[in-house]
């Protein structure tokens, strides 16, 4: 394993168990690529009752990550001349009508790929029994004026065609039927994806499920509904919108899809899309900002299904997270300028952290840690690998106390660098030496905004940047930790901010 990946593995081996402990997530699997170098790690439990450990080969239902596969299948049909990007979609559905009653114009393939058909935000047509065939499901869904959520409390259509972004599972399921109706051999979507995507990319442990099986595959991880430290096995929830929600895979295999897209549509000599199709897929088409309550969408864009964030920045990324209720969550992102990609899947769903508002789940924290590692790899100061997690937590606590006192309060007298005695501290995970180092890192007051902003990243004893979010969350952070902590009206902030 290359040195950088060995260092990443060591950092993850320390970080991930702490993230699982804090979030109450039973297990997690991560795969990362940096150039041609690959890393796979697994932590925690595949199946708690059976005492089966998570492994890199453990299978996850990856939920909305499935949407990328269906979108690529549609682009392949466009490349084959079988469908036009701006064709009315119901012209390809053999009798199923995807017609927006609010008007403007007919719904096109492009509208569905950019989530601007006017379909309302929805959940993935869930049931406890095997769902009907896809065509029957879609015909019934479009015949009704209301969604199924909360006994039909919300309308099926919420805006005119092309008017705004609304995330719709039904829209992607409709594209799945289009693939079935218009591919040259009239293959089912699952068979089409196997032949045109999974096999060319060497994804031998990946399949698309229509959720109509009698029993789940034994290789699939057990999913858990999580309530803090309590994790309860999830009921077997199935989705009629399986083109949006049905792919089962491992992080290591889904990583191959991201790597192919990073390489303009080809991997290991096998091409799944032409470069121009990949460029179109990864070009911002629609802003997601303020569109609905599903995404933390500030600055987010959608291409053709693919999500794009941090545009114009060194760590810009593309990909798509995914989840299947109520037991699995995943994050999958590629960072072209960092030459890395990461896929993280966990078999836990935070039942209270989604949406109140949506908290950072374990997979998002770990995926961003991998990106932060590669983002700081060149020229970053060395960190002492012998520091314990408790030492790092205490360091951050001490540094924050110094920053809040000398910065936010403007206190000019230095704090004592002597930590309180162990007997005076309530709670687990205390380390007096780490706390003292954090206080010292704060330096002499007063602390200006520039120094405050860099304190937890530039101090010689600061923890590795990829571990910082998890350490702050372990100390109680929920919605961010502003440095500096500015409380004055926007117009009175210094120019630096």
Report the pLDDT value the prediction gives residue 496, as an integer from 0 to 100. 43
- What's the confidence (pLDDT) of residue 25? 97
**How confident is residue 485, by pLDDT bands cut at 50, 70 and 90?**
confident
Q: Identify whether the C-beta of residue 147 lies closer than 8 Å to the C-beta of residue 122.
A: yes
CATH number reported for the structural domain that contains residue 27 in this entry: 3.40.710.10
Q: pLDDT category, 382, cuts 50, 70, 90?
A: low
425 and 290 housed in the same domain: no
Do residues 459 and 313 share a domain? Answer: no
Record the pTM. Answer: 0.93
Last residue of a domain, one of 323, 358, 380: 380
Q: How far apart are CA 366 and CA 30, in angstroms?
A: 8
Number of domains in the chain: 2
- For 101, 238, 251, the CA distances from 156, given in Å and listed in that order, are 10, 20, 34
Q: Is 44 helix (H, G, I), strand (E, B) or coil?
A: strand
Region of residue 307 (left: phi > 0; alpha: psi -120 to 50; beta: else): beta
Pairing mode of beta strands 270-271, 27-34: unpaired
Q: For the residues 12-30, what does the mean pLDDT come to?
A: 96
Structural domain range at position 211: 1-380
Same domain, 401 and 289: no
Q: 396 and 328 share a domain?
A: no
314 touches 291 (CB < 8 A): no
41: which residues sit within 8 A by CB, 6+ positions away?
9, 12, 13, 16, 29, 30, 56
Q: What is the DSSP string of 289-347?
A: TTS-SSS--TT-EESSS-EEESTTSTT-EEE--EEETTTEEEEEEEEGGGTEEEEEEES
Mean pLDDT of the chain: 92
Residues 122, 198 within the same domain: yes
Question: What's the pLDDT band for 379 if we cut at 50, 70, 90?
Answer: very low
Dihedral sign of CA atoms 422, 428, 432, 433 in order = positive
More confident call, 161 vs 229: 161
More confident residue, 491 or 18: 18
Which of the two residues, 252 and 494, has the higher pLDDT score?
A: 252
pLDDT at 495 exceeding the cut of 60: no
Q: Is the pLDDT of residue 354 over 80?
A: no
Lowest mean pLDDT across 220-229, 261-270, 476-485: 476-485
Confidence at residue 311, expressed as pLDDT on a 0 to 100 scale: 87
399 and 258 housed in the same domain: no
The answer to whether residue 121 is domain-embedded is yes
pLDDT value for 71: 98
Per-residue pLDDT reduced to its tens digit, 404-444:
999 999 999 989 888 899 889 988 889 999 999 999 999 88
In the predicted structure, residue 284 carries a pLDDT above the cut 70: yes
Domain boundary among 380, 414, 437: 380
Low-confidence winner among 126-140, 353-367, 467-481 (lowest mean pLDDT): 353-367
DSSP structure class, residue 65: G
Rounded to whole angstroms, the Cα distance separating 497 from 135 reads 54
Average pLDDT over residues 398-405: 94
Q: With 50 as the cut, is the pLDDT of residue 7 above it?
A: yes
Among residues 240, 258, 251, the alpha carbon closest in space to that of 197 is found at 258
What local confidence, expressed as pLDDT, does residue 297 receive? Answer: 64
* pLDDT number for residue 292: 63
Which of 6, 8, 1, 2 has its CA nearest to residue 376?
A: 8
| Spatial separation of the C-alpha atoms in residues 120 and 26, rounded to whole Å | 33
Identify which has the larger pLDDT, 295 or 441. Answer: 441
Please tell me the predicted confidence (pLDDT) of residue 497.
39
11 with 146, same domain: the answer is yes
What is the average per-residue pLDDT within 448-464? 90
pLDDT higher than 80, residue 79: yes
Strand partners, 233: 224
Return the pLDDT at 110: 98
298 falls within a domain? yes
Query: Which is it for strands 348-350 and 224-227: parallel, antiparallel or unpaired?
Result: parallel
Nearest one of 450, 454, 455, 449 to 401, comparing CA atoms: 455
Last residue of a domain, one of 380, 397, 415: 380
- Of 289-298, 391-400, 456-465, 481-490, give the lowest mean pLDDT range: 289-298
Residue 291: per-residue pLDDT: 63
Query: Given a cut of 80, is residue 349 above it in pLDDT?
Result: yes
Residue 377 predicted with pLDDT over 60: no
Q: For residues 148 and 14, state if they share a domain.
A: yes
In a domain, 497, yes or no: no
In a shared domain, residues 196 and 230:
yes
- Asked if 37 and 131 sit in the same domain, the reply is yes
| Same domain? 10 vs 75 | yes
Shared domain for 317 and 219, answered yes or no, is yes
């Amino acid at each position: 394993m290359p040195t950088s990946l060995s260092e990443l593995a060591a950092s993850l081996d320390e970080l991930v168990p702490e993230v699982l402990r804090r979030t109450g997530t039973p297990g997690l699997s991560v795969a990362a690529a940096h150039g041609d170098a690959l890393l796979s790690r697994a932590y925690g439990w595949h199946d708690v009752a059976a005492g089966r450990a998570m492994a890199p080969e453990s299978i996850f239902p990856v939920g909305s990550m499935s949407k990328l596969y269906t979108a690529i299948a549609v682009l392949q049909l466009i490349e084959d001349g079988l469908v036009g990007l701006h064709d009315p979609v119901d012209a390809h559905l053999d009798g199923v009508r995807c017609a927006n009653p609010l008007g403007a114009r007919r719904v096109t393939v492009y509208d569905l790929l950019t989530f601007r058909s006017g379909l309302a935000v929805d959940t993935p047509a869930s049931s406890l029994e095997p769902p009907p065939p896809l065509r029957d499901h879609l015909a019934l869904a479009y015949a009704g004026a209301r969604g199924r959520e909360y006994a039909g409390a919300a309308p099926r259509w919420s805006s005119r065609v092309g008017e705004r972004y609304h995330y719709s599972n039904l829209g992607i399921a409709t594209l799945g039927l289009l693939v079935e109706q218009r591919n040259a051999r009239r293959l089912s979507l699952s068979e089409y994806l196997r032949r045109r995507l999974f096999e060319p990319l060497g994804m031998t442990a990946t399949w698309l499920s229509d959720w109509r099986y009698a029993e789940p595959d034994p290789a699939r991880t057990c999913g858990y509904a999580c309530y803090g430290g309590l994790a309860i096995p999830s009921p077997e929830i199935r989705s009629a919108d399986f083109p949006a929600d049905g792919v089962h895979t491992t992080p290591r295999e889904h990583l191959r899809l991201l790597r192919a897209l990073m390489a303009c549509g080809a991997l290991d000599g096998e091409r799944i899309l032409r470069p121009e199709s990949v460029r179109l897929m990864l070009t911002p088409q629609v802003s997601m900002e303020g569109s609905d309550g599903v995404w933390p969408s500030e600055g987010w864009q959608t291409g053709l299904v693919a999500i794009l964030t941090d545009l114009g920045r060194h760590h810009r990324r593309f990909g798509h997270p995914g989840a299947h209720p109520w037991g699995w969550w995943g994050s999958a992102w590629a960072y072209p300028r960092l030459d890395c990609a990461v896929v993280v899947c966990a078999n836990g769903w935070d039942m209270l952290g989604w949406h109140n508002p949506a908290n950072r789940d374990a997979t998002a924290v770990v995926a961003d840690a991998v990106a932060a590692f590669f983002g700081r790899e060149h020229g970053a100061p060395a960190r002492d690998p012998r520091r314990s997690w408790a030492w790092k937590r205490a360091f951050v606590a001490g540094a924050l106390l110094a920053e809040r006192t000398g910065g936010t309060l403007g206190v000019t007298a230095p704090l004592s660098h002597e930590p309180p005695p162990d007997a005076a501290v309530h709670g687990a995970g205390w380390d007096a030496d780490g706390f003292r180092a954090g206080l010292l890192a704060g330096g002499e007051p007063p602390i200006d905004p520039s120094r405050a902003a860099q304190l937890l990243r530039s101090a010689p004893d600061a923890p590795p940047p990829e571990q910082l979010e998890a350490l702050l969350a372990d100390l109680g952070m929920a919605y961010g930790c502003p440095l500096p902590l500015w409380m004055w009206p926007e117009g009175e902030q210094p120019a630096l901010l």
